[in-house]
Structure 1
């Protein structure tokens, strides 16, 4: 069944990578792995479970608001970096959706290979993981940090557009 017929709904978990690393925001080209996601979740007291919807906060969009047009100078966002182990972990965990506050859900250029956006192929194309980008996670992150609850009901449904490769969604976190 096409995703636009049913959307994505389930247990969401905020993985506040910036806060976990003790930073206001991640740096350009800063990477993290699935092992970092697991460690962040454990540190927050909420282990990642099979079928969880991963919502990752880097707070990198802060740089967009702070820098304006200069944001795109030498552009390389932070994010997940490709590895066979990461792709296997996503498959084994049956992660349906990866949502982030970045433009591309992954580091722009893989530091090992220099390839641009390899996770789009590995996760989205090969595994069917829906990618949700440019989410405003600041209120959710503040709320989660305040009450220590990093899980919530997550729902998002794309627009139903014939022959589209992607459409906007309005993801909602209900705590």
Structure 2
């Protein structure tokens, strides 16, 4: 308890979870214009010191994007698609560029387009993704800040590049299994015991990454997406009050599915985003970190600057510390 008290004293009232009210959006302790929540806890000096300790090659925590990949389609959102917009032979046949057969035969031009739900693959959830009663983090309202195309507040484009200490919480390994059972609840107690077993603590500004082992089922959509193990609200509160800047996991929803709260289908999402001001990182590949027992690392990642987006692909890297 002494450590928690010291953290709270050092940060004053900057950890939003300490001032949050149940199922109500929190007004940011960083001021009325804040759109990034606990990412404000990132520390440039601490990041510089962290990078000085980096050794070895990075671990890539992202997954590939491909047709047929597991994606969240339960609510009608589109699957990932990719298609060619130009092919070398097609250019010769169509001459859409208008340069003639000789140039089209000489220059082999290929290009493509993609279509996808912004919460596909390894991605972040921005603070405008979930809220309460038509309001999102920091009391931004639908009436004032939601246009025809996107929210003008709290989007993924507002996220800074992230360099911070990452902490692997390898719950599956602690429980002695390759993959946690379907709908297995990761409680605050289980998180705490896992961290103690690993000999690692959490500090304000950290990026905790929870391993359920679910990536062992990738890319089987039927096994990976359905009835996921994950944290419940109490587990989320534990991480939030430790001062997490962002929370990641190797499953698709961070939280246990179905929801452990019969009155809220995304109990943890709405708590972390709207009450605690903590962005999420989902579908991270944590298998190599687990195999090498890398519990502490330098986390580096940046969302795409898609204006107003509720989510964005991210390619996070983990670098071992010496």
TM over 0.5: yes
| Whole-Å separation in 1 of the counterparts to 2:205 and 2:239 | 9
Unaligned stretches of 5+ in structure 1? Answer: none
Shift of 1:139: 0.9
- SS state at 1:6 partner: coil
| Whole-Å separation in 1 of the counterparts to 2:160 and 2:218 | 33
- Which residue number corresponds to residue 173 of structure 2? 19
Q: State the Cα deviation string for residues 71-95 of structure 1 (Å, max 9, x = none).
A: 279x210000123xx4543443221
Say if 2:277 is the partner of 1:123: no
| Whole-Å separation in 2 of the counterparts to 1:57 and 1:28 | 14
TM, length-normalised to structure 1: 0.84
CA radius of gyration, larger in: 2
Task: Give the aligned CA root-mean-square deviation in angstroms.
Answer: 2.1
| Whole-Å separation in 1 of the counterparts to 2:315 and 2:207 | 15
- Which residue number corresponds to residue 298 of structure 2? 153
Q: Match for 1:34 among 169, 174, 188?
A: 188
Q: State the Cα deviation string for residues 133-164 of structure 1 (Å, max 9, x = none).
A: 111111111112xxxx4101112110001111
Unaligned stretches of 5+ in structure 2? Answer: 1-33, 37-156
How many residue pairs get matched?
A: 166
Confirm or deny: 8 A CA contact 2:172 2:178 kept in the other structure. yes
TM, length-normalised to structure 2: 0.48
- Which residue number corresponds to residue 108 of structure 1? 257
Q: State the Cα deviation string for residues 89-108 of structure 1 (Å, max 9, x = none).
A: 34432211111110011112
| Whole-Å separation in 2 of the counterparts to 1:156 and 1:63 | 24
Runs of 4+ in 1 over 3 A off after TM superposition: 1-5, 86-91
Q: State the Cα deviation string for residues 1-41 of structure 1 (Å, max 9, x = none).
A: 66545222211110110000011110110011122112101
Confirm or deny: 8 A CA contact 1:38 1:48 kept in the other structure. no
